[in-house]
A and B are shown apart, each in its own frame.
Chain A
């Protein structure tokens, strides 16, 4: 198939940026979307032009590097996959495709489709862990964890930190990302000791980074390649509220 691509090109953070149009020719169904971009880039390079910068690494939907808006949708038209897992059989000959970076105040564009997502790391630094020193753990089977809780923790922990939730949200909120980590650790007995402090710390860092608040659109859940549920945001809010109240009135004995 032959396609017309409109790709966001931006030389650096301070550049205004604009769409440029390219042809992608002889594209086969079984190619991945990124294989297709590779092909376009090879062609641009041979013509002495700078290829389109985009992030990618594992190309199997787990590293969270790739992320771009494809026709206005984070990771493109198929649900529950990342851009690298999208295959060209989802498109047809003659299609026009608009490709843009994830846009959010907390994700400044570095070049073309590459954005800076280190705000996510700083949210994790604000409490997204269990404080356990290496070597101080008890036997792994000492505390049985009901399978249901372990499964729920896993569902939340499946987040790959790609930022699609932020890009999809009209408020550019990262509540789904933050809630997923808070929920993962809060379902586990090991995570209880720091539970409320963690929620408060991460939520406050989330706001400090310039992510917006959640107004229950649910666009994040739709865009999430791992299907992480907005229910976790309710859980985050509950823990934040509880933590705030405890702080205000003191923890009951």
Chain B
């Protein structure tokens, strides 16, 4: 597997501009001769499909949802970063770049991150022009707030529904292109394989979720904007439908998978309330702006929060990290919460949370101002827990939330399979070992609106124009393989539900490849996962048929892929024998209890090559060079 990141040979602050000039163009009249498939229509895929449609490409977009507006991007609450420096507090493109590389604990590619920081400016302009109703000050200018891992206010937001408003902006742009006839929208259509012809991605195989029809779709290039894989853990804040199938299928067809063990555990989620639960709920990190995190000093203290005086409370983030306080990056905030709960300081009926308290903010700002900032989040919390956060502190605990790992891509966002691109959370490019808050929306939109529409032209201009139809042997083989897998799932007719396997897999991963990882634990997981997979294929029960809307069958296919994918996650965590960002190996801890990196041996992206189900995958490296942000121990003290 060849890993050439194709980083343009220009100074970093001119690189994207010069690269745009160097790239080959497809002339406007020729663009309509090219077909591009976009899978996934969230922020990244929706923006990409809309913009490529505007440029004149023939776009075929696919989503398993009933409408592009349902994509999980819609659930992002807190905001989107941009180096606008509207607050005049010393922000700049360079500072956003610096913060993102440092926040990612030096495991991302400087060139990509710099471009992301640059494009952050255009995203806000674009979104406002589309009518995204960002929060504003009384003077009519845009408002900002601060987020974890940053000491400037650069986060733009639309109450607690920033993802929704940005997604609706992209959705509207997309529907405009559907109306214009440049984008053909395929809803309730799930991608189940990539078709590779002569080493190039030339199409996909989909299942129509209503009729069950499995068919091939061909194109000159394929773009995956299919999101992350947090649902490998079963319980996560991801929507129920989020899955690894598209990227895993691409991986099986030759696309390298980078850093699969870099999974982010978000510090502010509502703690689990019982075994029956299928999903956890995130409370925006923006709450950490005004909420103070604490636990009782005394382990096992069961008094109500209000009955515990300040002197008996441990505001542990403020104590340990005086300069960042409650706004430390997510990995640190999560790990510290876990330590508190593990050492008996947990609160709530199951003793599985820490407090996030707004008492002081309400005293300082008044209830109305707090409601203005967080009203809908407070309402959401109350509906779920039955407790009113204006009166009693919220209870929070970390939960799987975002995956920094994903398909390896070069500077042009192309995977190791020519013609196959990955954007948004589906790729690995910008967040290193830890993503900072309000950066996911930024990356999805930078990739979708501003990068892929240009870099795809650079690929197409050079790629041989081939006429490959759905009757090509590669397409027919892929359709047959997908059909066979589906028939095998239906034929098992065992006695256990799909969810029960998913739950069991999630427990293995949470215990051994979750917030704290050890060599022994990972080896145990690598033993248990193949056993579980074997049992799945013998005992799973998928009712119904393949020829109708069958939600059990959809889930079964996704869980079957998670059961293969989970192994490479553990291989990655095992072989990355260091701690960095969200990847915390207990063996590698500094004296202060922080993740201890090993830059000499691990300043690289680990890129995995598929060798067959159950076979040990091959690990490749992309060395990382830090020329602008000097390697240093992260400190948020």
Residues of A participating in the B interface, judged by any CB pair closer than 8 Å: 11-12, 28-32, 34-35, 38-39, 42, 44-46, 48-51, 53, 55-65, 78, 80-81, 85, 87, 89, 110-111, 114, 116-118, 120-121, 124-126, 128-141, 144-147, 150-151, 153-154, 157-158, 160-161, 184-185, 188, 190-191
CB-CB nearest in chain B for A120: B67
Contacts of B47 in A (CB 8 A): 134
Question: What separation, in Å, do the CA atoms of A130 and B169 have in the docked complex?
Answer: 9
| Stretch in B126-134, B296-304, B507-515 with 4+ CB within 8 Å of A | B126-134
B133–A150 contact, CB under 8 A?
Answer: yes
B70–A63 contact, CB under 8 A?
Answer: yes
Task: Determine how close the nearest CB of chain B comes to the CB of A157; give it in whole angstroms.
Answer: 5
Encode B543-568 as 1/0 by CB contact (under 8 A) with A. Answer: 11000111110000000000000000
- Total A-B pairs, Cβ < 8 A: 217
Tell me which of B66, B74, B544 has the highest count of chain A C-beta atoms within 10 A of its own C-beta: B66
Contacts of A56 in B (CB 8 A): 240
Contacts of B84 in A (CB 8 A): 140-141
Question: What separation, in Å, do the CA atoms of A29 and B385 have in the docked complex?
Answer: 10
Encode B27-65 as 1/0 by CB contact (under 8 A) with A. Answer: 000000000000000000001001100100000000001
Q: Does B277 contact A (CB under 8 A)?
A: yes
Question: What separation, in Å, do the CA atoms of A136 and B173 have in the docked complex?
Answer: 13
Question: What separation, in Å, do the CA atoms of A133 and B55 have in the docked complex?
Answer: 9
Interface hits, B153-182 → A, CB 8 Å = 158-159, 161, 164-165, 168, 171-173, 175-176, 178-179
Q: Which size class do B's interface residues fall under?
A: 35 or more
Q: Known: A12-B548, A63-B74, A147-B140. Is A132-B129 also a contact (CB below 8 A)?
A: yes
Encode B445-485 as 1/0 by CB contact (under 8 A) with A. Answer: 00001100100000000000000000000000000000000
Contacts of A29 in B (CB 8 A): 386
Among candidates A134, A150, A161, A190, residue contacting B135 with C-beta atoms closer than 8 Å: A150
Task: Determine how close the nearest CB of chain B comes to the CB of A49; give it in whole angstroms.
Answer: 7
Q: Does B486 contact A (CB under 8 A)?
A: no
Among candidates A58, A87, A151, residue contacting B383 with C-beta atoms closer than 8 Å: A87
Contacts of A137 in B (CB 8 A): 122, 125-126, 128-129
A57–B380 contact, CB under 8 A?
Answer: no
A57–B187 contact, CB under 8 A?
Answer: no
A46–B495 contact, CB under 8 A?
Answer: yes
Contacts of A157 in B (CB 8 A): 131, 133, 158, 165, 168
Identify whether the interface residues of A are mostly helix, strand, loop, or mixed. loop
CB-CB nearest in chain B for A59: B279
A131–B551 contact, CB under 8 A?
Answer: no
Question: What separation, in Å, do the CA atoms of A110 and B168 have in the docked complex?
Answer: 25
Contacts of A42 in B (CB 8 A): 497, 499-500
Question: What separation, in Å, do the CA atoms of A59 and B124 have in the docked complex?
Answer: 28
Question: What separation, in Å, do the CA atoms of A89 and B134 have in the docked complex?
Answer: 35
Among candidates A34, A57, A134, residue contacting B173 with C-beta atoms closer than 8 Å: A134
B497–A46 contact, CB under 8 A?
Answer: yes
Question: What separation, in Å, do the CA atoms of A134 and B125 have in the docked complex?
Answer: 10
Among candidates A60, A85, A128, A190, residue contacting B129 with C-beta atoms closer than 8 Å: A190
B549–A53 contact, CB under 8 A?
Answer: yes
B450–A135 contact, CB under 8 A?
Answer: yes
Encode B198-224 as 1/0 by CB contact (under 8 A) with A. Answer: 000000000000100000000000000
Q: Known: A57-B65, A185-B131. Is A81-B276 also a contact (CB below 8 A)?
A: no
B239–A63 contact, CB under 8 A?
Answer: yes
Task: Determine how close the nearest CB of chain A comes to the CB of B485; give it in whole angstroms.
Answer: 20
B142–A65 contact, CB under 8 A?
Answer: no
Contacts of A126 in B (CB 8 A): 179
Question: What separation, in Å, do the CA atoms of A120 and B66 have in the docked complex?
Answer: 11
Encode B133-150 as 1/0 by CB contact (under 8 A) with A. Answer: 111111111100000000
Task: Determine how close the nearest CB of chain B comes to the CB of A120; give it in whole angstroms.
Answer: 7
Contacts of B274 in A (CB 8 A): 28, 30-31
Q: Does B517 contact A (CB under 8 A)?
A: no
B130–A129 contact, CB under 8 A?
Answer: yes
Q: List 17 A-B pairs, Cβ < 8 Å.
A: A55-B66, A59-B281, A63-B74, A63-B75, A64-B70, A118-B67, A121-B69, A125-B178, A126-B179, A128-B175, A132-B129, A137-B125, A144-B136, A145-B140, A154-B165, A161-B69, A185-B131
Task: Determine how close the nearest CB of chain B comes to the CB of A122; give it in whole angstroms.
Answer: 9
Question: What separation, in Å, do the CA atoms of A118 and B51 have in the docked complex?
Answer: 22
Task: Determine how close the nearest CB of chain B comes to the CB of A182; give it in whole angstroms.
Answer: 12
CB-CB nearest in chain B for A55: B66
B543–A45 contact, CB under 8 A?
Answer: yes
7 more A-B contacts (CB under 8 A) besides A45-B497, A49-B543, A147-B137?
A30-B385, A44-B543, A48-B541, A62-B74, A116-B66, A129-B172, A157-B168
